[in-house]
């Protein structure tokens, strides 16, 4: 199979860098086009991007010249790591010009005709894509959720069968989730900041949409959000990579702890069925040690694509409680978008 | 008023050191007796205690010789910072010998005849003390709760009037709560550990006892635990001092956010009434900034005796949610015991 | 004695905040004027300044309105916490208009007619001030050194008597030295950054000027830099407050370790002679414990104005080596300037 | 080529775990024997070892039963990650019984008949091994240096040609170097500890031995330490993996900065010549960015076997100065021993 050429919009930021890292030696996609803002345009990528990852910058990309983000230029399939401030207009312009934009930005996530995908959970939401033609776009936009949303949605998806009704979640989020320069060190060394702007709202609304069903009414597809009630408190902690989430859920009485654990451990979806290159064998791994998951020990599991869950036990208020952990810039950002693109490729949509 | 002589059992550990620091220049109490384990006995205190506080070791205590913990020796009033492993027998022996033991250890907290005190909340539980005579003790034991319990109990006490029914809490606890050497740095730098042994059980049971009422039935006092249901998840984060708690509560519908905030802000108790030396004017301070409380900025408020609460807002699952913060080795340990002793003094029980 | 009114230029930044904190309840100076950039002008100080200190914002200052930095307005004595980018022009304009500017900015530190003061070391450099009249200024500028320079200069000053010739120093600097937002947390959590722009040059040149002598040649004063050779390597470490310095010195052979330690411990200067309000009794404290000084345990010594030195021992290459530590935003910035102003007051120069 | 069976003594500690990780899928060696203390003996390895690495515990080793450390049992080639407290006797007993002990412990490093190896630097010191027969041993012991020594020795080895005379070094060492539980978090979060017991002496003496030449006098081999004078100050910083070193060197005048950089960059040794499995292509990589090397970004270079050097520039006191960084538990411990064993295999000594 010939490799497909792909590009990255917003390639110099922290999420952009993860795209560049993950696309190095990808079996299906070949990264040929890196676009950045005016400040970076025309520079060598290695000079324009303040590389913050612990693996070296891929040599091939290092020497590429950063391109201006001009719709119509670059390959058909383009990943977007754009800031929300510019993603709205720019992604639409690219979609209009015929590109397929697989985006990590938040701008189109809640639009009625744009899939907000977690491939293991709601691959069928890709059925929304044809609706975008009504916008006059020759291409399309597909999105992945906010980082902390992914891990929560992944933990809840297998519990929908038990009549999932209420969820409380407190997050302990890593600083890489805020980009670069992001969180000032004076604010977070030896500290906790119990606030992340807009995060709680995103977790609550995006999760319901992801868990929702695709309905077809008189030939028009739409997503009906899941009826679960979610209440989130989000905090920032001095961790580099890995969001930890303390979750309580209310489900049907009579569902045993063993039922819940089995549902989590046996959860599979399209990525596993298609054996997508970035898909972990087990999207959820259940850690049996009493003090896990931990960011430092578990975040790299499945090359950062696995969600690790542990400490499942009864919650005297809601029903069950547990801890979930995921890699926020891989499964929660660039890796999520990459898996979306792989899914589209496997389903013949590219 | 002449100062009363006091002693400290377990004086060389981290909580013991806080006792020594807080008793320096105390207006009512004079620290004259420091007792430690066999390893420390006979040494200068400064040599026996690996001083871990950021204020210098008090000169007067530095030169004292650490005494063996022999019941009958030392002053009548003795603070206990003993490890739970030895506190059970040793505190009983001291109480039997006529000492009043104001203890931070967990051993007697849940005993039917021992007050588990937070003076702002349940000063009347001191009414249990006379029951201890039945044990044949000439003295008595009074205890304070586990550190993370104090801050939760303080936040919930003003809400009892609103028919408090359910509480979920996720804690983000500082490493000083585990003593010294305590948490290995390899486990916690840039990491979160979502487990603290026995902590969740203590939070759930102790809080209900503290919030409970003292009943007198046929001349015998007893504490009836409050009926609230509490579910806790506890985590350790890389913070030196200051436990942060993410709390949701279910109370009567119709209670407004303004009602709740006022209840928190106007909360007062016996320590404020008596103007106890260690009592903060406001046991709870409500922080109006959107990203507070934070350990680094708020933990020293009220010399570490104030609980700071912020981010009060509706919780779509339970009713209201907010963040609470307190200093775990001051209000959550040595300062708590000191306030207990001051209360007893003010009420003529010493 | 009536209090003298003082103002602060650049009052909203991290050093500006330290000025505000240190001037609260100052016995000689009364803070009446807070000036800030256009962005802050007209706002309440509490709203304009993102307060980053662990003590609460002083109530009196919190409600003051931030003023525009207009020369001629505000009190005669003005502290400057301005960024170097604007300090050059603005400080000159204030000095020209008759203000006495006691500045923490680097712009005028190496000017031939401006004192670069550490009051314990070179109080006599104030003799340069009259030369500034030649610039046509009605007022004057007095400066303090870069933070890491202060601690090195303080450690070296007592060794000048031993024919100090060569010094190597490696610094481990706290993040508060970089201001706010300053160092991104992604760069420094669990990391070391072995580079701080311009810092090594400042340490090498400023220290020699501070240790230098004031000469009077045909009625004109000038400072002749000390002849010591200094080589610095500077690093940033994940510490909030407190620069640690690993120092080796070459001095005359035959000087014993006891001689060196005594010289450090007995070092005194004008601030101690005048008993200035901010002066520590002992500008240098020698810590005898084998593993000290440490930022967390020693940085607050002398209210942040003491330099702590420890681990003095022979250096097989240069002669002697030791560790020095100081509080970078107190003795290394705002506290340094405050001590300069106190010195000028005590010597009748205000 | 058939794989050679190997074992690990002290397999459950942090260095033991690195051995287990590095030996997974090793092309030459097959790990078949894991020995531990009485406490671990008889347990599954996964249960006995508190796994602290961010990669999962190798499945094959996880299920192995930990064996008692009985000389004569286990394979001929045994790696030792023993504590110094027990390594002295135990390693001798194993060597006497015919095992080849490739040890990371410090006990035999300075013995006249034991090679202290860094294969790129002094492979010829293996010539000492035959002398051990005089002890009556049927086997032998080969050692690698202390972690911070390796990186210094590696940086200095290429400079011997320039008449290396004097070296000052200040280290900023990671907590993993102290093992587990090791450094208490209360001591190091947001802090620097300027003392590591015995470390400075080891750096000074071991480095001279490693850089020394093997002499043959009347048929008896011996190592003559290099004549360089070294002065070390060691500190602990809140970093998980990676020791940073600030180094100044005095070499012959006239040697240009370009000469020094070339010497570092072109440095090669036996491991590169033999293409040993664990050998990095470039034992030293020179980082050209102005703010490198950094632990978080550079420590994994060459799978943790590369030493990264940067910021080479003139030192006004000694001659040249620079920063070096290495992975303390890989190149500084388990990886070092593994490379020693690979060298012995390649030279036919196993």
B185 contacts D179 by C-beta, under 8 angstroms: no
The answer to whether the Cβ–Cβ distance between B297 and C52 falls below 8 Å is yes
Flag if C294 and D191 touch (Cβ within 8 Å): yes
* B24-38, B206-220, D60-74, range with the lowest pLDDT: B206-220
State the angle between helix axes of A147-156 and A199-211 in degrees (0 to 180), rounded to the nearest 10.
40
Q: Which residues of chain D have a CB within 8 Å of the CB of B182?
A: 184-186
Beta strands in chain D (DSSP E): 4-9, 29-35, 77-80, 100-103, 140-143, 166-173, 213-217, 220-224, 229-236, 243-250, 284-287, 307-315, 319-326
| D295 close contact with C: CB closer than 8 A | yes
Query: C51 touching A, CB under 8 A?
Result: no
Query: In this predicted model, what pLDDT tens digit does every residue of B232-285 receive, in sequence order?
Result: 999 999 999 999 999 999 999 999 999 999 999 999 999 999 999 999 999 999
Which residue of C lies nearest to D238 if distances are taken between CA atoms?
Answer: C190
Q: Does C243 participate in catalysis according to the annotation?
A: yes
Mean pLDDT, residues A243-269: 98
DSSP string, D276-342: -TT--S-SEEEE-STT---HHHHTTGGGGTPEEEEEEEEETTTEEEEEEEE-TTIIIIIHHHHHHHH
**Residue B126 reports pLDDT greater than 70:** yes
The total number of residues written for chain A in this structure:
350
DSSP calls for A250-290: E--TT--HHHHHHHHHT---HHHHTT-TT--S-SEEEE-ST
Chain B CB contacts of A297 below 8 Å? 191
Name the minimum distance, in Å, from the CA of D164 to any CA of chain C. 13
Helix (H) or strand (E) holding A173: strand A166-173
Average pLDDT over residues B215-233: 93
Helix (H) or strand (E) holding A22: helix A14-23
Question: Do the Cβ atoms of C342 and C276 come closer than 8 Å?
Answer: yes
Give yes or no for D233 touching C (CB within 8 A).
yes
Average pLDDT, chain C: 97
Chain C contact set for D198 (CB, 8 A):
none
State which residue of chain A sits closest to D189, comparing Cα positions. A190
Nearby residues of C295 by Cβ (< 8 Å), 6 or more positions away: C174, C239, C240, C241, C242, C244, C325, D190, D191, D192
C56 touches chain B (CB under 8 A): yes
Distance CA B217, CA B221 (A): 6
Q: Give the residue-averaged pLDDT of C191-211.
A: 97
**pLDDT tens track for A220-230:** 899 999 999 99
- pLDDT exceeds cutoff 70 at C33: yes
Kindly state whether C254 is in contact with chain A, defined as any CB-CB distance less than 8 angstroms.
Answer: no
Residue C54 has a pLDDT of 87
The fraction of chain A above a pLDDT of 70, given in percent, is 100
* Chain D residues inside the 8 Å CB shell of B50: none
Q: Provide the strand spans (E) within D228-293.
A: 229-236, 243-250, 284-287
Q: Rounded to a whole number, what is the distance in Å from the CA of C140 to chain B's nearest CA?
A: 37
The number of angstroms, rounded, from the C-alpha of A269 to the middle of its chain's C-alpha atoms is: 16
Nearest to C240 by CA among C159, C317, C185, C314: C185
Q: Flag whether the ipTM exceeds 0.85.
A: yes
Q: Report the pLDDT value the prediction gives residue C220, as an integer from 0 to 100.
A: 87
Q: Which of B189, B212, B205, B169 is nearest to B326 (CA)?
A: B169
Rounded to whole angstroms, what are the CA distances from B32 to B78, B132, B330? 10, 27, 21
The arithmetic mean of pLDDT across residues B201-209, rounded, is: 97
% of chain B with per-residue pLDDT over 70: 100
Q: How far is D302 from chain A (nearest CA, A)?
A: 10
Q: CB distance C300–B55 less than 8 Å?
A: yes
Q: What is the pLDDT of residue C218?
A: 80
Rounded to an integer, what distance in angstroms lies between the CA atom of residue B343 and that of residue B333?
16
Nearest to B8 by CA among B197, B58, B120, D184: B58
Say whether B297 and C189 touch across the interface (CB within 8 A). no
Q: What is the pLDDT of residues A113-155, one digit of tens each?
A: 999 999 999 999 999 999 999 999 999 999 999 999 999 999 9
Strand runs labelled E in D174-219: 213-217
Would an 8 Å CB–CB cutoff place D240 in contact with chain B?
yes
Mutation pick from A186, A236, A246 vs chain B, by most beta carbons of B within 10 Å, is A246
Q: List residues bridging with D166 in a β-sheet.
A: D229, D250
* CA R_g for chain C: 20
* The predicted structure's pLDDT at residue D1: 66
- Closest chain A C-alpha to D53 CA, distance in angstroms: 6
Residue B220 — pLDDT band, cuts 50, 70, 90?
confident
CA C283 to chain centre: 13
SS3 B15: helix
Chain C residues near residue D291 by CB distance under 8 angstroms: 193-195
Closest partner residue to C54 (CB to CB) among B55, B190, B300 is: B300
Which pLDDT band, with edges at 50, 70 and 90, does B1 fall under? low
pLDDT at C1: 66
Q: In this complex, do C296 and D190 lie within 8 Å of one another by their Cβ atoms?
A: yes
H helix runs in B143-292, sequence order:
147-156, 185-188, 199-211, 257-265, 270-273
| Mean pLDDT by groups of 10 residues along chain D of 350 residues | 93 96 97 96 95 91 97 97 96 98 98 98 97 97 98 98 98 96 97 97 97 89 97 98 98 97 98 98 96 97 97 98 98 98 96
Question: Residue C101 pLDDT > 80, yes or no?
Answer: yes
Residues 6+ apart with CB under 8 A from A256: none
CA D309 distance to own-chain centroid = 17
pLDDT at B2: 84
- Residues from chain A contacting residue D299 (CB–CB below 8 Å): 54
User: Is the separation of the CB atoms in C250 and C165 below 8 Å?
Assistant: yes
- Of the partner residues D229, D230, D240, the one whose CB lies closest to the CB of residue C190: D240
Q: CB–CB of C194/D311 below 8 Å? A: yes
φ, ψ of residue B14 in degrees (nearest 5): -65, -40
Torsion angles phi and psi, residue C197, rounded to 5 = -55, 125
Closest CA to B113 of B90, B81, B136, B97: B136
Alpha helices by DSSP H, listed for C40-141, are 45-48, 59-62, 84-96, 119-122
Residue in the structure block whose two tokens are 């928190």: B264
Residue A175, chain C, CB below 8 Å: the answer is yes
Query: Does C175 touch chain D if contact means CB atoms closer than 8 Å?
Result: no
**Is residue C306 a contact partner of residue C282, using CB atoms and an 8 Å limit?**
yes
pLDDT at residue number A41: 95
Question: Closest partner residue to A176 among C182, C186, C239, by Cβ?
Answer: C186
Q: What is the mean pLDDT of residues C237-254?
A: 97
- pLDDT of A281 above 70: yes
Angle (nearest 5°) at CA C309 between C307 and C315 = 140
B80 touches chain D (CB under 8 A): no
* Residue B266 near residue B188 (C-beta atoms within 8 A): no
The model's confidence at residue A1, banded by pLDDT at 50, 70 and 90, is low
Whether the CB of B53 is below 8 Å from some CB of chain D: the reply is no
A294 contacts A325 by C-beta, under 8 angstroms:
yes
DSSP letter (8 states) at residue C115:
-
- pLDDT band, residue A217 (cuts 50/70/90): confident
Average of per-residue pLDDT across B178-183: 94
């Amino acid at each position: 199979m010939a490799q497909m050429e792909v590009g990255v919009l917003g390639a110099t930021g922290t999420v952009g860098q993860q795209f560049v890292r993950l696309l190095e030696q990808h079996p299906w996609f070949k990264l040929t086009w890196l676009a950045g803002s005016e400040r970076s345009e025309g520079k060598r990528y290695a000079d324009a991007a303040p590389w913050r990852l612990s693996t070296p910058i891929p040599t091939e990309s290092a020497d590429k010249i950063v391109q201006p983000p001009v719709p119509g230029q670059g390959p058909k399939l383009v990943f977007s790591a754009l800031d929300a401030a510019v993603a709205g207009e720019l992604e639409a312009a690219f979609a209009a010009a015929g590109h397929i934009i697989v985006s990590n930005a938040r701008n189109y996530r809640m639009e009625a005709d744009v899939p907000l995908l977690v491939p293991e959970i709601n691959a069928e939401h890709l059925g929304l894509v044809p609706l975008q033609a009504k916008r006059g776009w020759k291409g399309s936009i597909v999105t992945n959720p906010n980082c902390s949303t992914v891990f929560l949605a992944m933990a809840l998806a297998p519990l929908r069968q038990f009549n999932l009704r209420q969820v409380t979640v407190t997050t302990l989020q890593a600083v890489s989730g805020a980009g670069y320069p992001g969180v000032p060190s004076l604010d977070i060394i030896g500290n906790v900041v119990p606030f992340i702007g807009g995060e709680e709202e995103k977790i609550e609304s995006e999760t319901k949409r992801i868990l929702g069903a695709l309905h077809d009414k008189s030939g028009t597809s739409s997503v009906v959000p899941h009826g679960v009630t979610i209440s989130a408190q989000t905090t920032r902690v001095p961790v580099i990579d890995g969001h930890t989430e303390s979750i309580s859920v209310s489900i049907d009485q009579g569902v045993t702890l063993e039922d819940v654990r089995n549902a989590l451990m046996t959860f599979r979806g399209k990525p596993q069925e298609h054996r997508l290159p970035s898909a972990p064998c087990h999207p959820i791994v259940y850690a049996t040690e009493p003090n896990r998951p931990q960011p430092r020990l578990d975040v790299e599991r499945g090359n950062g694509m696995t969600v690790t869950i542990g400490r499942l036990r009864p919650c005297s208020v809601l029903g069950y409680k547990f801890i979930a952990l995921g890699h926020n810039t891989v499964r929660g950002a660039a890796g999520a978008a990459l898996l979306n693109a792989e899914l589209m490729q496997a389903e013949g949509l590219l």
